Structure 1
Amino acid sequence: MKSFRQTQSALHTWTGLLVGWVLFLIFIAGTVSFWREETSRWMRPELSVTSEMRTPDDERRMVEGALAALAIRAPDATAWSISLPGPRGVGVQGVWTERSPPEEPRRPFRWPDATNSLWVDGDGQPVAVRETRGGDFWYRLHFDLHYMPVIWARWFVGFCSMVMLIAIVTGIITHKKIFREFFTFRPGKAQRSWLDGHNATAVLALPFHLMITYTGLVTLMSLYMPWGLLANFDDRAAAFAATQPNVPPAQYAATPVPMAPMGAMLDQARQTWGGVGPGSIRISNPGDASARVTMGRDLSHTILDDGEPLVFDGVTGVLLGKAPVTGAGTATRDAMVGIHAGRFSPISVRWLYFLSGLAGTVMVGTGLVMWTAKRREKLPNPARPHIGFRLVERLNVSAVAGLPLSMVTMLWANRLLPVGMEGRWHGEVNIMFIAWGLALAYAFLRPPKRGWVHLFGLTGAALVILPIFDQFSGQGMWQHLNHGDATRFWTDITFMALGLSLAAIAVKVHRHKPRIAPASVRAPKEAAMAVAGE
């Protein structure tokens, strides 16, 4: 009869494999998202940097510039939305929603593109910017996935996150000496080395793994467990209305009236929020007697994921409503969401988030590889594994080595696609998934060891060459330094460092010469090929 620890070991192994490839995507995309603003900044080189520090005067100039540009581009829109950059971003994005006739149904949401958005720089002047989702794509990818309905994706990601939580807890139970083994690494020992690496990355950031998984579930708790809300409200809409400013929406009056100066509303918002400026502004029915202005606080200054929205009359500038005082439950939930997203993080904490996320990504990847390494030795004929084993082995190559390559391919697409291309951000995303599909095909067509070496090597080379390409195209590291843009400079340095690391992994795998298991001495050539994956 198996002991409790043995049963937990089996649960840990099979839950990790069941959704391991999806968890790898969630971890790597979520880890990159900690530099979401920096990545977006790098992917929009047309936006100049006037200063790393934003003052209230800069904020007012950018907002007024965006309003003036929106009034020209979309004077008849039903709503304008303005997204202001945080301390790490540049440029202001203005988005409009076209007004549809009353008899038509409400138009579905669509992401901003060249047909419904514009950009202004730090001087408040409109600027032509390449159409890209930037770092926002990977942020949404890690919980919305892609090419599938959002609700289905969030249910699936929630299921995988719950399995991840089970895998972490059972891993703690299974490895009773895990903390001692954290200080032990035995290179060149095949399966033992993979287990040491898996244990080290798991223990190194264990509090982070528990926190990020649990708080990730909390962010969508009303979707996964709606019964608490439904016990107190008739539906989710009523619950949402109870947590927002209690200002009834104004009906479109079809009476043109100039809007009140935005500067006074910005000053009042800053005073209400203790000196913190807005991160978003939404204007419904702009230029009409029924205009309303809703401002949300910049979240980079607080751990709570609560914008504390303020609603102003767009014609008089009078404050109409504030967010109600939240209770302990709502504040706890907002704090957990804020901790998960890490928007409040200073640079040192953000690096800690990023490195911990990398450790989690490596933990999932090494766990997947260890599954095949451990079971190969038990196969009747390691040189001819069964189809299920070969499937897992190839999927490991395509996920762990192929996904990073596809992400780098998207960065190259950002540089190579024509700047004025219609539907450009769709092209970037499609190219990424095409590259991932090609990596999957390559993993199934070539021996596993060659797949690891070639995909990691290509990813490393692509990352190292990318900043060099930028340098020759006139928007490289030295140009960033000359323009005082330290963020883009260090982004290029990080790309090169990651590229060199992946290239080193490729060289290490290429030079590795596996030892033949004693049980396979009768067929040394076949055994060597099997262990090497050739």
Structure 2
Amino acid sequence: MKQGFRQSMAWLHTWVGLLTSWLLLMIFMAGTASYYRQEISRWMRPELTTAPVSQEVAAANAVSYLQANAADAEYWHIQLPDARNPAITMYWFNPAPKDGQGDGRASRRARFGEATLDAASGTPIQARQTRGGEFFYRLHFDLHYIPVLWARYIVGFCAMFMLVAIISGVITHKKIFKDFFTFRPRKGQRSWLDFHNVSAVMALPYHLMITYTGIVTLMLMYLPWGIKAAYPGEEDKFYVESLGGLSEPRPASGTSAPMRDVAALMESARREWNGAEVATLRMDHPNDAAASLALTQRDGKALSIATPTLRLDAVNGQLLERGGQAGGATATRDVLMGLHLAHFADAGLRLLLFVSGLLGCLMVASGCVLWAIKERAKHARSGRVGFGLRLVDALNIGAVAGLPIAFAAYFWANRLLPLDTLERPQAEINLFFAGWGLATLVGLLHPRRQSWAWLLYLGAAMFVLLPVLNALTTRAHLGVSLPAGDWVLAGVDLFALAFGLCLGYCGWRMQRWQPAVSAADKRRRQAAAVDGAPPTQVARDGGVA
């Protein structure tokens, strides 16, 4: 290494961070929002009610509805309500048509049924169609508009680059913890570097954990060769044996039989789990003599995502199978995945993880801007801006200032699109990417400081006015949610207001930004003024310096 180890690490840190930074910022923002995806889904379906009800009543209401509307289905799946999701959500799979025309993919999709019920009354809720917070969760590792397999490889590639950038960044900054306590405002490049260091070090353990465990969640897809060698043509058998899941349910007998009361079956599961609650129910072959009920325990305080499962005979209540018994390697993987998904987190810890995710977003965003600032100082000597710097400026504007607009557009679409819009969930998603695309186009056409300010002000206005739009279009606004103590609904509105104010402040600072000028630059400008030459315009290109 001609430049020495630390200098090589600095080069590596710069380029692996920059090349994936814009996509990484979207992944970080969507993943951070996913900590509250259930709350976001609830806000985006304001028609849902919040009356508390016992699990037995909710399960009985769900079964009654399914008996009336899907008694001959191949299986039922019921998600019971909890504090973060007050409604019963369920789906089922109808039998194939007797004419044998149900083998195609489209036909299989048509066989799925779904419903959302009021937990207390069991009546269907006509909630608006939306992907809600689930869109952000899937977006941060499945992306959109491209095949899922390719998307996950791309995300894994970005995560590897992120891990390399974090490790090389720690090596590069030998005074990283000292720099954590140092921030010099209004110093141009020095201020951006300080901000980048602080946002990185403040949540450094979180950044390492979330990046590494994110890779682990998809490791079986990235490294499938061991499975293929040990289980040739029987990959499904590997998952059953190694991951400790339930085996395939027994086939239907073809003989009708009455099923036991679902409350009694749930009580059997609670006794098995020492009083733990049930999260989901899956009934295979309902109303058949071979009917079985699979129950999944609700997430508790355990780090692992491996939750205990049981399968009971739905006719006589006999225990058929226990799941969740995995080996050491799988248990380690489950803990790492549990750390990434944070199902164990209570309200306080979830908030801490959310704030750490926001710091990760700031770290990536400030790194993008910092690279452009450093390059602009080099271009200032020649008095012109190259294509590469202009492209980075445009992408920075599109990602850093444009992504908040995209998120706000998604929420606005949920409130403004007619409820009977065809493919309404996809229409909301299309508007998310339309907002992002338009902001990026502004950056490409006008990569100047004014574009930063305009887009930040636009994002601020959209977020600040979101609670107002909510009040004008629904009955689930702050005037109702705050007096009722409904912090799920109120929290989304309040965060939108706070985030909008932060964006507005950033836009105000950007509009009044005065690039720092070094002593050498001052002397160069004074000399140019004496000679009658025009001052360089490089510092104004891209908006920040």
Taking the aligned partners of 2:101 and 2:132, their CA distance within structure 1 comes to 36
1:263 lines up with 2:258 in the alignment: no
Aligned residue for 1:129, secondary structure, equals coil
- Which residue, 186, 189, 197 being the options, matches 2:187? 189
1:298 lines up with 2:294 in the alignment: no
**CA gap 1:441/1:274 in 2 versus in 1, 3 angstroms:** same
Taking the aligned partners of 1:195 and 1:479, their CA distance within structure 2 comes to 44
Measured after TM superposition, the shift of residue 248 of structure 1 is: 4.8
Aligned residue for 1:44, secondary structure, equals coil
Contact 1:383 1:529 (8 Å CA) reproduced = no
Taking the aligned partners of 2:495 and 2:110, their CA distance within structure 1 comes to 28
Taking the aligned partners of 1:256 and 1:153, their CA distance within structure 2 comes to 45
Residue 283 of structure 2 corresponds to 283
Contact 1:245 1:310 (8 Å CA) reproduced = no
Residue by residue over 1:233-284, the C-alpha shift from the partner in whole angstroms, topping out at 9 and shown as x without a partner, is 4443111121345655332344443332111111111222222222222222
**CA gap 1:369/1:4 in 2 versus in 1, 3 angstroms:** same
Residue 357 of structure 2 corresponds to 357
**CA gap 1:227/1:86 in 2 versus in 1, 3 angstroms:** farther
Taking the aligned partners of 2:484 and 2:124, their CA distance within structure 1 comes to 19
- One-letter amino acid of the counterpart of residue 320, structure 1: L
Taking the aligned partners of 2:107 and 2:347, their CA distance within structure 1 comes to 34
Residue by residue over 1:23-78, the C-alpha shift from the partner in whole angstroms, topping out at 9 and shown as x without a partner, is 11111111111111111111111111124xxxxx6111112222222333333332
Contact 2:304 2:331 (8 Å CA) reproduced = yes
- Which residue, 83, 89, 96 being the options, matches 2:85? 89
Contact 1:33 1:138 (8 Å CA) reproduced = yes
Q: What's the TM-score, normalizing by structure 1? A: 0.93
In the TM superposition, 1:208-223 aligns within 5 A as: 208-223=206-221
Contact 1:86 1:300 (8 Å CA) reproduced = no
Residue 54 of structure 1 corresponds to none
**CA gap 1:161/1:247 in 2 versus in 1, 3 angstroms:** closer
Aligned residue for 1:35, secondary structure, equals helix
Residue 200 of structure 1 corresponds to 198
Contact 1:62 1:92 (8 Å CA) reproduced = yes
1:236 lines up with 2:232 in the alignment: no
Mark the runs of 5 or more structure 2 residues left unpaired by the alignment: 529-533
Taking the aligned partners of 2:205 and 2:489, their CA distance within structure 1 comes to 31
Taking the aligned partners of 2:140 and 2:108, their CA distance within structure 1 comes to 19
Taking the aligned partners of 2:415 and 2:316, their CA distance within structure 1 comes to 45
- One-letter amino acid of the counterpart of residue 198, structure 2: A
Taking the aligned partners of 1:494 and 1:366, their CA distance within structure 2 comes to 22
Residue 502 of structure 2 corresponds to 501
Residue 30 of structure 2 corresponds to 29
Residue by residue over 1:443-475, the C-alpha shift from the partner in whole angstroms, topping out at 9 and shown as x without a partner, is 112233122111111111111111122224432
Residue 531 of structure 2 corresponds to none
Aligned residue for 1:116, secondary structure, equals strand
- One-letter amino acid of the counterpart of residue 177, structure 2: F
Taking the aligned partners of 2:107 and 2:452, their CA distance within structure 1 comes to 40
Taking the aligned partners of 1:73 and 1:253, their CA distance within structure 2 comes to 22
1:121 lines up with 2:118 in the alignment: yes
Aligned residue for 1:279, secondary structure, equals strand
- One-letter amino acid of the counterpart of residue 23, structure 1: L
Contact 1:244 1:309 (8 Å CA) reproduced = no
Taking the aligned partners of 1:341 and 1:157, their CA distance within structure 2 comes to 16
**CA gap 1:483/1:116 in 2 versus in 1, 3 angstroms:** farther
- One-letter amino acid of the counterpart of residue 135, structure 2: F
Measured after TM superposition, the shift of residue 330 of structure 1 is: 1.7
Taking the aligned partners of 2:66 and 2:177, their CA distance within structure 1 comes to 58
Taking the aligned partners of 1:148 and 1:531, their CA distance within structure 2 comes to 31
**CA gap 1:300/1:230 in 2 versus in 1, 3 angstroms:** same
Taking the aligned partners of 1:274 and 1:22, their CA distance within structure 2 comes to 45
- One-letter amino acid of the counterpart of residue 165, structure 2: A
Residue by residue over 1:179-205, the C-alpha shift from the partner in whole angstroms, topping out at 9 and shown as x without a partner, is 111111111111111111100011000
Measured after TM superposition, the shift of residue 308 of structure 1 is: 1.9
Measured after TM superposition, the shift of residue 362 of structure 1 is: 0.4
In the TM superposition, 1:126-205 aligns within 5 A as: 126-205=124-203
Contact 2:210 2:340 (8 Å CA) reproduced = yes
1:43 lines up with 2:44 in the alignment: yes
Residue 402 of structure 2 corresponds to 402
Contact 1:384 1:530 (8 Å CA) reproduced = no
Taking the aligned partners of 1:112 and 1:279, their CA distance within structure 2 comes to 27
Moved more, 27-36 or 95-104: 95-104
Residue 428 of structure 1 corresponds to 428
Taking the aligned partners of 1:375 and 1:28, their CA distance within structure 2 comes to 26
- One-letter amino acid of the counterpart of residue 455, structure 2: L
Measured after TM superposition, the shift of residue 8 of structure 1 is: 0.6
Contact 1:31 1:354 (8 Å CA) reproduced = yes
Residue 387 of structure 1 corresponds to 387
**CA gap 1:215/1:247 in 2 versus in 1, 3 angstroms:** closer
Residue 540 of structure 2 corresponds to 529
Measured after TM superposition, the shift of residue 316 of structure 1 is: 2.7
Aligned residue for 1:282, secondary structure, equals strand
- One-letter amino acid of the counterpart of residue 237, structure 2: A
Size of the aligned set, in residue pairs, is 528
CA RMSD of the aligned region, Å?
Answer: 2.4
In the TM superposition, 1:320-399 aligns within 5 A as: 320-323=320-323, 325-379=325-379, 384-399=384-399
Measured after TM superposition, the shift of residue 525 of structure 1 is: 5.3
**CA gap 1:103/1:126 in 2 versus in 1, 3 angstroms:** closer
Taking the aligned partners of 1:342 and 1:85, their CA distance within structure 2 comes to 19
**CA gap 1:47/1:361 in 2 versus in 1, 3 angstroms:** same
- One-letter amino acid of the counterpart of residue 347, structure 1: A
Taking the aligned partners of 1:333 and 1:95, their CA distance within structure 2 comes to 29
Residue 64 of structure 1 corresponds to 60
Measured after TM superposition, the shift of residue 220 of structure 1 is: 1.3
- One-letter amino acid of the counterpart of residue 524, structure 1: P
Taking the aligned partners of 1:461 and 1:149, their CA distance within structure 2 comes to 34
Contact 1:185 1:193 (8 Å CA) reproduced = yes
In the TM superposition, 1:443-458 aligns within 5 A as: 443-458=443-458
Residue 250 of structure 1 corresponds to 250
Contact 2:452 2:543 (8 Å CA) reproduced = no
Q: What's the TM-score, normalizing by structure 2? A: 0.91
Moved more, 254-263 or 5-14: 254-263
1:440 lines up with 2:436 in the alignment: no
Q: Which structure has the larger Rg over C-alpha atoms?
A: 2
Contact 1:66 1:119 (8 Å CA) reproduced = no
Aligned residue for 1:422, secondary structure, equals coil
Mark the runs of 5 or more structure 1 residues left unpaired by the alignment: 52-56
Residue 80 of structure 1 corresponds to 76
Aligned residue for 2:541, secondary structure, equals helix
